Amino acid sequence: MISRGAFLALTLAASATVRARAAPGSSDADPALSANTQELRVLLGRGTVTGSSPDGFTFNERAYRGSATPLADGTIVNTLPLEAYLYSVVPREMTPSWPPAALQAQAVCARTYVLARSNPQRAYDVVPSELDQVYAGIASETPAGRAAVDSTSAQVLRFGDGFARVMYSSCCGGHTESSTGAWGGVPIPYLSGIVCTTCTDSPYYRWNRALDLGAVAQVFASELQPVAPLQAVQQGVADASGRASDFVLHGAHGDVPIKGGAFRLRIGTRVLPSLLITQFEPSTEAPERIAIEGGGLGHGVGLCQWGARGRALEGASFTDILHFYFPGTEIEHD
Ligand SMILES: [Zn+2]
């Protein structure tokens, strides 16, 4: 499982992906992209390359598979087979001791995500951070991660003629979010939000937090400037999954609405692990403090990773898991 900070970034990346990607059947279906033959280009950034050999190289004292090529601006791009890239990604995006079927579902998600991102027109395909997927070279590989990649070799999630738009996050809290609820846009049939009963083992399945009005006033100082001082914060309506669509900052001289996703990211994902909020009220002990109860960690769209773990423990295969979280998609050899 990736960290809370990682999920913040992943949320941003996923959001951008939803908005930027073409509809299934257009550029997503580029026949030149194949999981079997694809070489992926990862932008490592600035640093020192040493010890290059046919097997790999060392960049900033970390070992990588594939080759290192400098771009014109001096940054280094790591080119390697897609499947080798996934060896490093899967154990970083999901706890490698989890059941094989959950890791296999993660591998198919990670492969599909990156194939849909690949673009020969750009100097690189992905960055190695949460903005795309976490990639840290050979050191993060594990036998279980490699087994998950090898046993699902070249398998991707498709919808219609194109790659499915794959999203995942740590724990949905009991109901996954729709893509439209999280980011707006055109509804995506397989990302419409479903009941998930198997993520209850997550430490974030239910949580309590406290938020000081002063902290809210500081974060939204520019928006509040015309109506200050801030007097109260209210959770707005919930969407179909139960997540807060917006919040209202009540100032002495008027109200300021803030979209739910923006509110969570700016307040911080440590304070608001998700927008699935069941209570948002002034604390009985300290009225300037808001007592919050909620569930889940992350945006909640697509695969619920803790839910996938739970389903795997119940005996589900990775195809069962993927069909459950992305209903109507097909798992195919690319
Ligand atoms: Zn779940």
**pLDDT tens by residue, 66-85:** 999 999 999 999 999 999 99
Residue 230 lies in a domain: yes
Would you say residue 27 has pLDDT above 90?
no
CA of 127 to the centre of ligand 1 (A): 27
- Which is nearest to 183 in space by CA: 227, 102, 245? 245
**Lowest mean pLDDT: which of 13-27, 118-132, 277-291?**
13-27
Confirm if 163 and 156 have CB atoms less than 8 A apart. yes
- How many structural domains compose the chain? 2
Query: Token digits for 192?
Result: 């419409």
- pLDDT score at 34: 54
Confirm if 108 and 152 have CB atoms less than 8 A apart. yes
Average pLDDT score over residue span 232-254: 95
Residue 47 lies in a domain: no
pLDDT in tens, 214-230: 999 999 999 999 999 99
Residue 57 lies in a domain: no
CA of 325 to the centre of ligand 1 (A): 9
CA of 52 to the centre of ligand 1 (A): 43
Mean pLDDT of the chain: 89
User: How many C-beta atoms lie closer than 10 Å to residue 201's C-beta?
Assistant: 12
- The reply to whether 16 and 119 lie within a common domain is yes
CA of 322 to the centre of ligand 1 (A): 13
Confirm if 146 and 279 have CB atoms less than 8 A apart. no
Ion ligand 1 neighbours (CB, 5 A) are: 172, 196, 199, 304, 307
Would you say residue 8 has pLDDT above 70?
no
- The reply to whether 99 and 12 lie within a common domain is yes
CA of 239 to the centre of ligand 1 (A): 17
pLDDT in tens, 144-182: 999 999 999 999 999 999 999 999 999 999 999 999 999
- The reply to whether 227 and 306 lie within a common domain is no
Q: For the residues of 2-40, what is the DSSP string, one character each?
A: --HHHHHHHHHHHHHHHHHSPPTTTGGG-TT--TTTPEE
Average pLDDT score over residue span 291-308: 97
- The reply to whether 89 and 24 lie within a common domain is yes
Portion of the chain with pLDDT greater than 90, in percent: 83
- Which is nearest to 146 in space by CA: 95, 113, 103? 103
- The reply to whether 265 and 150 lie within a common domain is no
C-alpha span between 5 and 80 (Å, rounded): 27
- pLDDT score at 51: 87
- The reply to whether 171 and 223 lie within a common domain is no
Residue 186 binned pLDDT confidence (cut-offs 50, 70, 90): very high
Confirm if 229 and 217 have CB atoms less than 8 A apart. yes
CA of 10 to the centre of ligand 1 (A): 17
Say which residues have a Cβ less than 8 Å from residue 62's Cβ, sequence separation at least 6: 136, 137, 139
Residue 123 lies in a domain: yes
Range of the domain at 325: 8-33+84-201+299-333
- The reply to whether 193 and 304 lie within a common domain is yes
- The reply to whether 95 and 140 lie within a common domain is yes
- Chain-centroid distance, C-alpha 9: 8
Say which residues have a Cβ less than 8 Å from residue 151's Cβ, sequence separation at least 6: 100, 104
